[in-house]
Chain A
Amino acid sequence: MSTTDILDLSAAAAAAAIGGGSLSATELFEAYRDRAASDRAAGDAGLNCFTWVAADAPSEPVDAPLAGVPVAVKDLFCTEGVPSQAGSRILEGYLPPYTATAVSRLRAGGAPLLAKTNQDEFAMGSSNENSAFGPVRNPWDRERVPGGSSGGSAAAVAAGLAPWALGTDTGGSVRQPAALCGIVGLKPTYGAVSRYGMIAFASSLDQAGPLTRDVTDAALMLRHMVGRDPCDATSLAFPGEIELPTAERLDGIRLGVPQELTGEGIERGVLDAFAAAIEQAKELGAEVSDVHLPHAPHALSAYYVLAPAECSSNLARYDGVRYGMRATDAHDLLDMYMRTRHDGFGAEVKRRIMLGTYALSSGYYEAYYGRAQRVRTRISEDFRTAFEQIDFVVTPTAPSVAFRLGEKTADPLAMYLNDYCTVPMSLAGIPAISIPCGHSEGLPVGLQIAGPAFSENRLLDAARALERSIAFDARPARV
């Protein structure tokens, strides 16, 4: 098989080719390893997708369903003996003594580690510009962002530098970069995948999820990640198996379009591509109706209280004592803490720590954190009510196509608005997938489909039927 043929295979097709004997796992690993290593070596002249690339292919043949198809993994997953910095200077030099459950499950399923991917620092960002490793570039247009925070994972898959990748989604960090890079991104039900070994941002929201070239690959990766893990008390046994999707039609499927997430603030070109996808869904037999999520417009506000609050608490552990960097020449212990955190954290992380500390401080706790948790209840109720009448909620994934590097860095609030359509599902803990549904200005647009907790199999089926019908050409020119 030629290198071009190899790179054209989806992960599922590559696993099948290895199983059928027409491709060797080593050949596949090396084809991607060489491409990933070139991108890493090129630095800012490349896409800057990776923070680390494996030196060698596994020496033993892989006797497991994924057959040796390697996976690129977001930097914030702890990988034993392999640098894991969550895109932050403060974890410089950290070599975790253990591996995250999601990564070890994928490895046990037959997917070895290809590389670690660049990301926004501690997963805080929507453009991958907040990384100690520098920004990632979008393979569709080098002057534009890939989205974030799993920007390196999304760009690597879109550019054919990895067969598939693992990311994390707190408020949209898998779905939004998938949309901006023209690939598939799935945020599973909260608890479906263990968070053990994921460097925490906001524990009540963080979920690991696949970034893949198609919906079948997303299902295949998820199948090898889900399940209860004794190391994460919030993980849950998935009811049944994750099936590979087969649906070609949407007959009898009821889709709800929430006006709250499909109007003001969304770019015209994005709305046009979204409308065209809805027409496709109708042609496939879906019933489409309006649905109301009355509290969804408040989701972003609640999210930007809750996520920073949890962040300020989770990031208290970076104090220069147990791992990573320590500021030198401190004159006492407190000074050492404060200077280490000053030197080690980037601007956005500091902003969120300050915001969270404020929201949790005595006297403000009820006004901010308490109220936000009540809004969260309302948002979950909105979805529950909607799902009594419809099967899935559909929205654009992101309000715009990929924007220019530097365009939103000076205005944190404008950056936060990227998450407008994705945070409601995060707050409700429900699964949501983004699939490419068309172009605007020559750049990909994502369609988000969200369902009730643990509806992943139905969700993947619906996404697959739409994907086939839309037939999006998911590949920018190869870099």
Chain B
Amino acid sequence: MAALARLALGEEEVEPMARELSAVLDHVARISELDLENVPPTSHVVEVTGALRADEPTPCLPREVVLSQAPLANDEGFLVPSPQA
């Protein structure tokens, strides 16, 4: 699960995490007691109609402004370690 979440967990984090998550999952499992046959899932809480906008290009932030926040970048883009170093 941690690998799916792209999360490295330290040795000392694994046991408490498993214990705490089990307690929370036991609690949330109470919703399995409910009869939810034919109940539609909520997709949006407030009724909205016609929320679509025209698909027109608008200006976005300049590239150098965005790249200035990156831990590592050059003039063209974000720099990252090789996938298979």
Contact = CB atoms under 8 A, between A and B. Distances in A.
Contacts of A334: 6, 83
Nearest to B41: A373
Contacts of A478: none
Is chain A's interface secondary structure helix, strand, loop, or mixed overall?
A: helix
Contact of A304 (B10, B28, B44, B82): B28
A191 interface: yes
B34 A298 contact: yes
Closest 9 CB pairs of A and B: A429-B45, A373-B41, A326-B71, A342-B8, A338-B8, A376-B42, A374-B36, A301-B28, A357-B5
Nearest to B43: A373
B72 to A, nearest CB: 7
A98 B60 CA distance: 11
Main secondary structure of the interface of B (DSSP, over half): loop
Interface of A: 94-98, 189-191, 204, 230, 233-234, 236, 295, 298, 300-302, 304-305, 312, 316, 319-326, 330-339, 341-342, 345, 347, 350-351, 353-355, 357-358, 361, 367-368, 370-378, 380, 412-413, 416, 427-429, 453
Contacts of A295: 34
Given A94-B69, A305-B28, A357-B4, A234 B81 contact: no
14 contacts: A98-B61, A190-B45, A298-B31, A321-B70, A324-B69, A332-B81, A334-B83, A342-B10, A351-B17, A354-B21, A361-B4, A368-B28, A374-B42, A380-B45
A372 B85 CA distance: 42
B46 A191 contact: yes
A14 B81 CA distance: 54
Contact of B31 (A191, A320, A357, A371): A371
Nearest to A228: B51
A376 B41 CA distance: 7
A376 B43 CA distance: 10
Interface of B: 1-10, 13, 17, 20-21, 23-25, 27-32, 34, 36, 39-46, 48, 51, 53, 61, 65-66, 68-72, 78, 80-85
A427 B23 CA distance: 22
Contacts of B84: 332
Contact of A321 (B43, B68, B80, B83): B80
A336 B81 contact: yes
A373 B45 CA distance: 11
Contact of B36 (A336, A347, A375, A453): A375
A95 B31 contact: no
Contact of B24 (A342, A367, A416): A416
A469 B43 CA distance: 40
